Amino acid sequence: PVDRSPEIQEARLKLPILAEEQVIMEAINENPVVIICGETGSGKTTQVPQFLYEAGYASSDGIIGITEPRRVAAVSMSHRVAKEMNLSHRVVSYQIRYEGNVTDETKIKFMTDGVLLKEIQKDFLLLKYKVIIIDEAHERSVYTDILIGLLSRIVPLRGKKGQPMKLIIMSATLRVEDFTDNQKLFPAVPPAIQVDARQFPVTVHFNKRTPVDDYNGECFRKVCKIHRMLPAGGILVFLTGQAEVNSLCRRLRKAFPFHKNKTEGDEEKEESVEETRKFKKSKQKKTMPLPKIDLNSYSVLPVDEGDEDREAEMDDDEDAVGSDIDLDLGDDGLEEGEKSNSSLPLYVLPLYSLLAPEKQAKVFRPPPLGTRLCVVATNVAETSLTIPSIKYVVDCGKVKKRFYDKVTGVSSFRVTWTSQASANQRAGRAGRTEPGHCYRLYSSAVFSDFEKFSPPEITRRPVEDLILQMKALNIEKVINFPFPTPPPTEALAAAEELLIALGALQEPPKTGRLKDLQIAKLSCPISPLGMTMASFPVAPRYAKMLALSKQHDCLPYAITIVSAMTVRELFEEFERPAVSEEETEKLKGKKARVIQMRRIWAGQGPFQKLGDLMVMLGAVGACEYAGCTPKFCEANGLRYKAMVEIRRLRGQLTTAVNSVCPDAGLFVDPKMKPPTETQVTYLRQIVLAGLGDHIARRIQAEELLDEKWKNAYKTPLLDDPVFIHPNSVLFKQLPEFVVYQEIVETTQMYMKGVSAVESE
């Protein structure tokens, strides 16, 4: 029996999924695999685990596991469900890569999909679980796809063993054919239950014209207009990345200053009565009837022909605010004198995945009284998190994605149009609590050219890590694996080849044809080294480095370097435009200091040859020595969140290494001494062993045929020049041979994470 508070009970009853509890539970009781589709916010993530719990699916002989593609969701959903059920975090818990609060009492466990994949390696049948819920399956993250493939085999095996397990796949869209019409995956078609969306109508407004470049400016103008002209209700803006989000937040805060946020807790207390009154009054007067438009009708064409024109006016004539032109977005005009809400402060919050968790959590709390909430977000807000009381969505229509070249592995971040499905998801965020509006900063013609759905991630990125994990699970013929959508054969072959080069797979006999044949069939078995590598939770190249580092006491350093290379964005970005002159000076001073620190960390003479990896080692060493405080990070241009992750990953890798070779007796030493010269030499060899295929040679003066090759490097696979990234400590030194962590293409192709290799 669950003892919920009356408020929670009331809120639950409003969720559409509650009406389906019986249908859902009957389907689950009668079928090993069930698919549940329902709009974001219908209650899938928070309620289905509770249904299962109440139906007795968590007992002494098994618990309920839920996977999320994003860490943010795993943590915040476990908190939410614990609160709704009035149970402690000891019972409703979470586990993400670096942390968790799982106990012996845990009955409901939220985790990232990567965590469950690791567990399958230890216990293929997942005997600890009675139910696995794969959430957000529509996102088609690589791990989600692999998990569904594996679970399609595990579920029948559990049935045969007489310890049946249920698999529930939850999706925010109805596009589930990859799971249902896939005989290889599920020979018996699993039932798909559709939860009716209790979604209020959302009116979609397309721009008449699509801005060529400046969608950021366009977003700013649109938010300003909504805030000045439209009735109360939260605004949610979709942009493509962290830098854009922060920059729009700054602009908006400047345009609509919100002076009371000196300390968060004081916001409400300092609320002025007068403002509240003004706010209430304007709210009463301004309720405009909204056009009744069904959400389902917006997917292809603009709902209202007139909208485009009105929109265009809004766009073309920014100064119109306060003038007589009728600029409202609904059917009713606003009366003169009521047009400006600008006295109302705008409470602007950013939301993106690298944001510190306590800052992320702010978006769930009600905004200070008498303010309008405006959340500026990346894709995180598209499906996994439901932000309360959003009435207006501003959608730039773009998404930032990493693209990989299938052959060379060169990656670039590109901003492209999103898919129709995701644009519709974004629009849907506006209709959660009342009818809403979505402003698309592009025309309906552009929208109809969007691809219908984004292709699954597994078809878009290198897969060596997955292949190694699968081989470690004794899946030798990867090509026969029941992928919901298989990766391209080139990507599979490239992965197999890299793993052979790293020694992780047994090399097929070198009789020409046979080797080709085996790679083509992708059936090389894993080697003992490969098994060791697979036990490290890092990419195969880095796992190889760890596996080689036992000599000369290099392990603690290799672990640190690998941790630093694995965690994203160690160093703060400096592109932040200063708000004032004073700040400009401060930033200049800081930049100088940071550059100096990087030089110090890079060391002298032979130490320097380890290049950027030496800098990483030095930065982590110094930061840990100083106690890894936010203050130290801030002063030295390090990203605190990254440093904390590195610390956790070091701990995790240290444990992993100890369990593979118990005599290593490693521990994480916060006062780790810098490596000796000999150790640095070995470290460079180790790095070369892992990154051997990432080698580049500088073009010598006598070879210089074309200016474009000045200071450039040549790599075996690329015809075009690549350069050392300007942020690298080796940028000026230009060693003859280097290895790099990755090549990222921006204006040029840049090598990042560079270290020098001896030329002999």
Tokens of 750: 């840049």
Binding-site partner at residue 95 among ligand ADP, Mg ion, none, CB < 5 to 8 Å by type: none
Nearer to Mg ion, 49 or 735 (CB): 49
User: Which residue in 20, 33, 34, 45 binds ligand ADP (CB under 6 A)?
Assistant: 45
Does 532 interact with Mg ion (rule: CB under 5 A)? no
Residues with Cβ within 8 Å of residue 275, at least 6 apart in sequence = 343, 344, 345, 370
Single residue of 388, 651, 674, 692 touching ligand ADP by CB under 6 A: 388
Q: Are 357 and 75 in contact, with CB atoms under 8 Å apart?
A: yes
The full DSSP string for 384-447 is T---TTEEEEEE--EEEEEEE-TTT--EEEEEEE--HHHHHHHHHGGGSSS-EEEEESS-HHHH
Long-range pairs for 645-649: beta carbons < 8 A, 24 or more residues apart: 645/98, 645/567, 646/560, 646/563, 646/564, 646/567, 646/570, 646/620, 648/97, 648/98, 648/99, 649/97, 649/98, 649/538, 649/563, 649/566, 649/567
DSSP secondary structure of 594-611: HHHHHHHHH-SHHHHTTH
Residue pair 446/210 in contact by the 8 Å Cβ criterion: yes
**Distance from the Cα of residue 87 to its chain's centroid:** 29
DSSP annotation of 453 = S
168-197: which residues touch ligand ADP (CB under 6 A)? none
Q: Which lies closer to ligand ADP via its Cβ, residue 364 or residue 625?
A: 364
Span 45-74, contacts to Mg ion by CB under 5 A: 45
Using rule CB under 6 A, residue 46 touches ligand ADP: yes
d(CA 658, CA 579): 49
CB of 132 to ligand ADP, least distance (A): 16
Return phi, psi of residue 8, to 5°.
-60, -45
Binding mask 249-278 for ligand ADP (x = CB under 6 A): ------------------------------
Token duo for residue 691:
């990154």
As a three-state string, the secondary structure of 39-76 is CCCCCHHHHHHHHHHHCCCCECCEEEEEEECCHHHHHH
One-letter amino acid of 608: Q
Report the helix count and the strand count for the chain, using DSSP H and E: 26, 20
Q: Compute CA distances 607 → 566, 603, 614, 682, 759, whole Å.
A: 22, 5, 7, 11, 16
Token readout for 405 is 């070249």
Rank residues 72 and 146 by Cβ distance to ligand ADP and give the closer one: 72
Per-residue binding string, ligand ADP, 56-85, x by CB under 6 A, is --------------------x---x-----
Answer yes or no whether residue 210 interacts with Mg ion by CB under 5 A: no
C-beta closer to ligand ADP: residue 384 or 549: 384
> Per rule CB under 5 A, is residue 418 in the interface with Mg ion?
no
One of 67, 152, 386, 425 touching ligand ADP (CB under 6 A) = 386
Tokens standing for 80?
């939410």
Q: Which does 93 bind (CB under 5 to 8 A by kind): Mg ion, ligand ADP, none?
A: none
Residues in contact with ligand ADP, counted by CB under 6 A, come to a total of: 15
Q: Which of residues 4-23 bind ligand ADP (CB under 6 A)?
A: 15
**From 24, 27, 32, 41, residue interacting with ligand ADP (rule: CB under 6 A):** 41
- CB of residue 22 to Mg ion, shortest distance in Å: 21
Interface with Mg ion, residue 207, by CB under 5 A: no
Q: Which of 326, 348, 344, 345 shows the shortest CA–CA distance to 335?
A: 326
Nearer to ligand ADP, 12 or 221 (CB): 12
x-or-dash string of contact with ligand ADP, 335-374, rule CB under 6 A? -----------------------------x----------
Residue 44 binding ligand ADP, by CB under 6 A? yes
Supply the minimum distance, in Å, between the C-beta of residue 569 and ligand ADP: 27
Q: Is 156 in the site for ligand ADP (CB under 6 A)?
A: no
Output the smallest distance, CB 149 to Mg ion, in A: 22
* CB closer to Mg ion out of 19 and 672: 19
Binding piece for Mg ion, criterion CB under 5 A, among 36-44, 113-121, 252-260, 601-609 = 36-44
Q: Which partner from the list Mg ion, ligand ADP, none does 46 bind, CB cut-off 5 to 8 Å by kind?
A: ligand ADP
What is the number of the residue whose Cβ is closest to Mg ion? 45
- Contact between 657 and 664 (Cβ < 8 Å): yes
Residues touching Mg ion: how many (CB under 5 A)? 2
Q: Closest Cα to residue 182, out of 527, 452, 483, 455?
A: 483
The three-point CA angle 753-756-760 to 5° equals: 150
- Pure H helices in 42-196: 44-54, 71-85, 113-122, 142-160, 177-180
Single out the segment in contact with ligand ADP by CB under 6 A; choices: 41-49, 160-168, 305-313, 487-495.
41-49
CB of 38 to ligand ADP, least distance (A): 5
91 binds ligand ADP (CB under 6 A): no
Residues in contact with Mg ion by the rule CB under 5 A: 44-45
Point out which residues bind ligand ADP (CB under 6 A): 15, 38, 40-47, 76, 80, 364, 386, 388
